[in-house]
Amino acid sequence: MSTSQDSRLWSLMHDERQALADDLSTLSTEQWGHDTLCGEWDVEQVVAHLTAAASVNQWQWLRSMIGARLRPHVHNQRRLIEHLGATPEETLNRFLAVIGSTTAPSGHTPAYLGEVLVHAQDIRCPLGLSSTPSIEALTPVAAFFARRDFTVASRTHVIGLHLSADDGPFAAGSGPKVTGSTLALVMSMAGRVAYLDQLDGPGVPTLRSRLHNTAS
């Protein structure tokens, strides 16, 4: 990836972090404890995870993973706790402090942009918040997710399917077609079953079966 492309992705990431922070600033104390689409984590825990992700460089990540005996869930939980504030306000302030960060464990910038986009919707969807990421930010994430598994088994979920966004330029793969918004495609590739109903096409039953099998 060229330096200019990478810089653009970081700029989009900063914009999306700020958009999420704006939404978070409107939440009540009760909403900070609300369930999300991200497993057992509540809103505050997901935000702390995003702060951790923007605070760990390659060597810190390696040390943490070795300390976790190469168990990503243990690494993630330890770093989440490290960046969790004593109150939701403190957790939000810690997130605000990393909005402009370009720290990451590797050079896979589309993946880290995807982490911000997916976790933002993990928070927004259950709370009924209407903000959505830009097509400009979603499209490179969709392309990356369709091309390879990284932090999520995105390629595995959609291999042998033809994906086509109906609101942007993203298209990938061959086979039974799956169409929908770029956001619904990204979230479904990330394993979020809640977005399957926003997709159409003969490939949807296959995708639904794969996601349910992964979740079970």
pLDDT along the chain (216 residues), means of 10: 82 98 97 96 97 91 82 84 96 98 94 97 97 97 97 95 98 98 98 98 98 81
In the sheet that holds 171-172, the strands lie side by side as: 171-172, 162-165, 177-180
pLDDT given for residue 175 in this prediction: 98
**DSSP character string of the chain:** --HHHHHHHHHHHHHHHHHHHHHHTT--HHHHT-B-SSTT-BHHHHHHHHHHHTT--HHHHHHHHHHTTT-HHHHHHHHHHHT--SSHHHHHHHHHTTTT----SSS-HHHHHHHHHHHHHHHHHHHT------HHHHHHHHHHHHH--SSS-HHHHHTT-EEEESSSS-EE--SSEEEE-HHHHHHHHTT-GGGGGG-BSTTHHHHHHHHHHHH-
Q: Do 95 and 74 belong to one domain?
A: yes
CA distance 148 to 159: 10
Q: Do 123 and 146 belong to one domain?
A: no
CA distance 62 to 20: 28
| CATH assignment at residue 200 | 3.30.1050
Q: Do 149 and 71 belong to one domain?
A: no
pLDDT given for residue 2 in this prediction: 55
Listed residues 127, 162, 182: the one ending a domain: 127
| CATH assignment at residue 57 | 1.20.120.450
Domain total for the chain?
A: 2
Beta partners for residue 164, in sequence order: 171, 179
Q: Do 123 and 140 belong to one domain?
A: no
What are the Cα distances from residue 186, in Å, to 64, 158, 182? 28, 11, 6
Q: Which two tokens stand for residue 208?
A: 């639904």
Q: Do 94 and 141 belong to one domain?
A: no
Listed residues 79, 105, 127: the one ending a domain: 127
Q: Do 24 and 121 belong to one domain?
A: yes
Q: Do 13 and 115 belong to one domain?
A: yes
Q: Do 78 and 183 belong to one domain?
A: no
Amino acid making up residue 199: L
Q: Do 96 and 158 belong to one domain?
A: no
pLDDT given for residue 72 in this prediction: 82
pLDDT given for residue 190 in this prediction: 97
Q: Which domain holds residue 36?
A: 3-127
Half-sphere exposure of 96 (CA within 13 A, CB side): 12
